[in-house]
Amino acid sequence: MIKKRLFTPGPVSAYPPSLQAALDANIHHRTSDFKEILTSVIDALRRIFGEPAEMFLLTSSGSGAMEAAVTNFFSPGEEVLIASCGKFGERWIELANKFQLKATVLKFPYGDPVNPDDVRKALRENKNLRAVFVQACESSTAVQNDMDELTRVVRDTESILIADAVTGLGTMSISVKDGIDVMVSGSQKALMIPPGLAMIGISEKAWKRVEASTAPRFYFDLRAAKKSWDQGQTPFTPATSLILSLRESLRAIEESGFQNLIRITENRARATRAGLNAIGLEIFAKRPANAMTGVVAPGGDADKITSRLKQKFGLQVAGGQGELKGKIFRISHMGYIDHFDTLGVLSALELTLLELGHKVELGKSLVEFQKVYAELK
């Protein structure tokens, strides 16, 4: 009977009307009814991605769209730059290797953001670099990169900027219009539906490459997708029920304002950090994300903290990944949650730390959270 709340950085707590919408799944994908649904979803995605030249919806998790970003714009042997600051940056490296791109890698320590100056320098030194790969938000370390500066650095070069925005979309101000050439996202994050759909928005500059690219691809071939889209269809049977859910989420998000969603998420993250700091906890990221907050676990107790939060309080936060396992835990600010839910996480965290023998001044994180929230617009 413990009430369960999901604070993992994807899947997130889904928007109930979106889940309900999936019940209406007895629909065939090659009908005018479904064409109308798909078109409205793509139109809404175009708006929130910032009017990309091409916008596609894929039936896969976000990693499928990451593969599409690697296989549709290059040919084997071409040179690219990967600016990696965590586990998902390493996924770009793995993908580039698998599909035989010649990758120059700038690796930043876990917790640090990508340094745009290093990217600028690399682009100046090697004019053959065809792209810069980056995470808008690196979910493994809860770091948010300086996308404003990174878009400035890449904009006037021959390179295209490819951003994993799986947790960046809807949590920070980024868009194709603002200079991201290939922007990838997923359904189970700020869009508040279950996993299974991925999105990719593409600029004019990047789309020009698609026909020339000789990398092998089929399921994620955007040339085939383009041909089908132009008739209001998908090349393969899409996840119809999830698309119905997505339509509902996009409708709700646009009704209350997409910029509001970003602002609210940012505020929630800021207030959370203030609360955590007030009880002496350290934020792991040097440049903290809005999408989620990574917290250094006192005494390396991350596993104990996350399991107690779940078992005693029904709160599911995420541990660290890879080398950060046991060291940090992450609290999502995405999904169908409000600031009272997040207040609950701070409350449970204080009680948990106390139980584990750490010193905590009870209520202090709540007071600070409250203060910050009151000041925010």
Q: With respect to a second copy, which residue has the nearer C-beta, 11 or 52?
A: 11
Nearest-5° angle of CA 46, CA 48, CA 54?
25
Give the closest residue to 333 by CA, choosing from 184, 192, 165.
192
Taking CB under 8 A as the binding criterion, the range among 98-106, 263-271, 345-353, 369-377 that sits at the site for a second copy is 98-106
Contact flag: residue 59 with a second copy (CB under 8 A)? yes
Which one of residues 13, 272, 293, 365 is an interface residue with a second copy (CB under 8 A)?
13
**Count of residues binding a second copy (CB under 8 A)?**
53
Count CB-CB contacts under 10 A for residue 224. Answer: 15
- Laid out side by side, the sheet with 54-59 consists of 54-59, 197-202, 182-186, 160-164, 131-135, 79-84, 102-107
Residues 299-358 that bind a second copy (CB under 8 A): 316, 318
- Binder of a second copy out of 28, 77, 125, 357 (CB under 8 A): 28
Contact call for residue 240 and a second copy (CB under 8 A): yes
* H helical segments located in the chain: 16-21, 32-49, 62-71, 87-98, 116-125, 147-155, 204-207, 222-229, 240-256, 258-278, 302-313, 339-355, 364-375
Q: Which of 130, 132, 63 is nearest to 94 (CA)?
A: 63
Residue 338 CB contacts under 8 Å (≥ 6 apart), including other chains: none
Letters for 248-287 (x = contact with a second copy by CB under 8 A, - = none) are ----------------------------------------
Q: Which C-beta is closer to a second copy: that of 202 or that of 315?
A: 315
Consecutive H or E run containing 233: none
For residues 12 and 271, which CB has a smaller minimum distance to a second copy in the complex? 12
Q: Does 2 bind a second copy (CB under 8 A)?
A: no
Residue 238 interacts with a second copy (CB under 8 A): yes or no: yes
The reply on whether position 94 binds a second copy by CB under 8 A is: yes
CB-based burial, 168-179: b 16+ in 10 Å, e otherwise: bbbbbebbbeeb
- Which amino acid appears at position 190 of this protein? A
Among 134, 160, 242, 302, binds a second copy (CB under 8 A): 242
Among 38, 42, 63, 260, binds a second copy (CB under 8 A): 63
- CA dist 43 and 66 (Å) reads 21
* Binding stretches for a second copy (CB under 8 A): 4, 6, 8, 10-11, 13-14, 19-20, 22-23, 25-31, 59-64, 67, 70, 94-95, 98-100, 186, 188, 194-196, 215-221, 235-242, 316, 318
